[in-house]
Structure 1
């Protein structure tokens, strides 16, 4: 009984903290759609293609699951370099790589 109650409370807490992030993600997607419709951002497929063709990313595998920050207009693209995941930050307006981790 106590275990069930503990699991229920933990689930409720996790869902409560996830909801704002989900709402922000929806707003980011809506903002991205609007910007794309107005020609303010480069289409995602083209950005992925352009980054994937540049060295050293041309030797890496693109993992998918891009993330978008609508405040900065930056995509985070994930690549696999051997056994390490590399996140490349790309300006959605210009296609310029603005950062990399690691």
Structure 2
């Protein structure tokens, strides 16, 4: 079986709406930031990190379904998440376990 036939069989076996057929979240995020639909994470970090002086920044996550950046911090032994609306840059929630 040649490569073209194998590719056609595999392509037909993948449902159109499947995760394999979708654009990866990081590509969509990059594209949306570039076109101005989302605030760059670096801008949000520049605004928020100085306010979190006594905490260790553990890093970000992005939820594409909600358009939310989630920044994770360790503050006095407690984990703190700060959720930021990626479209506006506004903090929408602070949570800790």
TM-score, normalised to structure 1, is 0.65
Q: 4+ residue stretches of structure 1 with deviation over 4 A?
A: none
> Does 2:71 correspond to 1:74?
no
RMSD of the TM alignment (CA)? 2.0
Residue matched to 2:36: 39
1:79 Cα deviation from its structure 2 partner: 0.8
The secondary structure found in structure 2 opposite 1:42 is coil
Cα distance between partner residues in 1 of 2:95 and 2:77? 14
> Does 2:24 correspond to 1:27?
yes
1:78 Cα deviation from its structure 2 partner: 0.6
**More strand as a share of residues:** 2
Unaligned runs of 5+ in 1: 1-19
Which protein shows a greater Rg? 2
Residue matched to 2:55: 60
Query: What is the aligned residue count?
Result: 77
Unaligned runs of 5+ in 2: 1-17
1:27 Cα deviation from its structure 2 partner: 2.5
